[in-house]
Every structure is written in structure tokens, then in C-alpha cells.
Amino acid sequence: MKKLLLIVSAFALFLPSAVAQTTPTADEIIDKYIAAIGGKDALAKVTDLTTSMSSEGQNGAIIMITRKQKLPNMFSMLINANGMEVMRQTGDGSKVQMGGMQGSRTLEGPAALQMTIMSTLFPELHYVENGVKTTLVGPEKVDGKDTYKLSHTTAEGTPTWTDNFDVATGLKVQAVTTAKSPQGEMTTTSVFSDYKEVNGIKFPMTILQQSPRGPMTMTVDNVKVNKGIKDSEFTVK
């Protein structure tokens, strides 16, 4: 009996250490995600990306979203509802112009930096060079899945954003961002699913977005890789 108690006690002391050793670091979680969607070599070959998405809005309105990204850090997003432009975002790498039916404004400084970093092609590849600090928050359930939650902060200390990565597959399943707007801070939660491969890289084909504007489910209709997008498409006036 005494021998058995010693064995049990030793096992109990060993268990926390074993659990700690199996918990990955933030860098390992990001590396697994990059590998899961195609690997560094495949991602490094992409110089520009065009993603076309569609959704159904209120009163049956057909919403079309076109997002363009180009290295090193340019991006744009155009949203049309029933053929009418309702929102446009353009980032030239340092400034971000945001336009809509209620006017236009240009972001500079920390707010523009955070949006630029998050909108860069495969942003996780560039976190280190962009001075992003990433920490592991811990395990978290997302839609019944076991995930690791990571928190990111820019070098300027702008508000953090978080990502959740599936423990089993390594794929990103959720992102939560908070941004300032004329109406105050807005928190947006995006849930990613239905990953499919395009040109050797996996992309989520369904994105469920929840924001103060209400829920919206976006379906990715097509992804175009390396189509030679011109820099002039990302001009901020």
C-alpha cells in the first residue's frame, strides 16, 4: 500500500509538468496555422490576392464584397448592395481611407497601423517584422471546438485583437477585433469555416460576422491569386 501511494504521489507531481510541456507557445500555434493553410513556401509565392464574397442583407438585398490585398501592406475592400456602393476601404500602407454613404474619412497613426497590419496578406507571416506582440491567453471553446486563444498588440500598444485556432487542425476558427468609429468602439466577431484549397492554399469559404450592425454570413465565391493588381488601386487621396 505504501509503495502504491508513493507511485500515485509521484504521478500527481508529474502530471502538471506533463500538461505544461504539451501546451504550445504562441509562436508554435501560429506556425501550425501557417503549415495548416499551405506552408510558408506556398504563402510566400502570393504577391496579390482578390477575394469575392456575397451575402444576403436585410429585406433580401444582395451584398457583394470584393477584397484586394497586395504586398507589402496594401489593401482595399468594396461593398455593394443591390449594385450600389455602400462602403469602401483603401489602405496604401500608411493611411487608410474609409468612405460610405455618410461621407469619407482618413485614418492615420495607430488606428491605421492596426488595420493595415491585420489586412496585410497572410498577416501572421509578418507579425515579427511589424512589431506585433502575440501572447497565449489560453484554451477556449468556440462552437464546441477546443481552441487556443491568442492576443495580439502592435508596438504602439493599440487595442488588442484576438484569434482562436483549432487545437486539432491548427486552422483559425474565430477572430475578434475592436475598432474606433464615429459612433464609438465597435467589436466585430468573425467565425471561419468550410476551408477549401485554392492554388495550394486553404481559405475559409464561409465567414459568419457579428457586429453592432447585426449578423452577416458571407460566402466566398472565388479567390484569385497573383493577377497583377496595380499599386494605383490602393491610392489614398
pLDDT in tens, 145-177: 999 999 999 988 766 899 999 999 999 999 999
**Rounded to whole angstroms, how far apart are CA atoms 84 and 82?**
6
Q: Which grid coordinates are listed for 199?
A: 492554388
DSSP string of 81-148, one letter each residue: ETTEEEEEEEE-SS-EEEEETTEEEEE-THHHHHHHHHHSSSGGGGTTTTT-EEEEEEEEEETTEEEE
pLDDT given for residue 18 in this prediction: 41
pLDDT given for residue 29 in this prediction: 98
Question: Could you tell me the residue ranges of all domains in the chain?
Answer: 24-234
Question: Was domain 24-234 assigned CATH 2.50.20.10?
Answer: yes
| Prediction pTM value | 0.86
pLDDT given for residue 3 in this prediction: 46
Q: Which residue has the higher pLDDT, 51 or 103?
A: 51
What percent of the chain is predicted at pLDDT more than 90? Answer: 73
Pick the range with the lowest mean pLDDT from 53-62, 191-200, 201-210: 53-62
Residue 182 has pLDDT above 70, yes or no: no
**Is residue 116 within 8 Å of 94, Cβ to Cβ?**
yes
Task: Report which residue type is found at 37.
Answer: I
Residue 4 has pLDDT above 90, yes or no: no
Q: How confident is the model at residue 5 (pLDDT cuts 50, 70, 90)?
A: very low
What is the overall mean pLDDT for the chain? 89
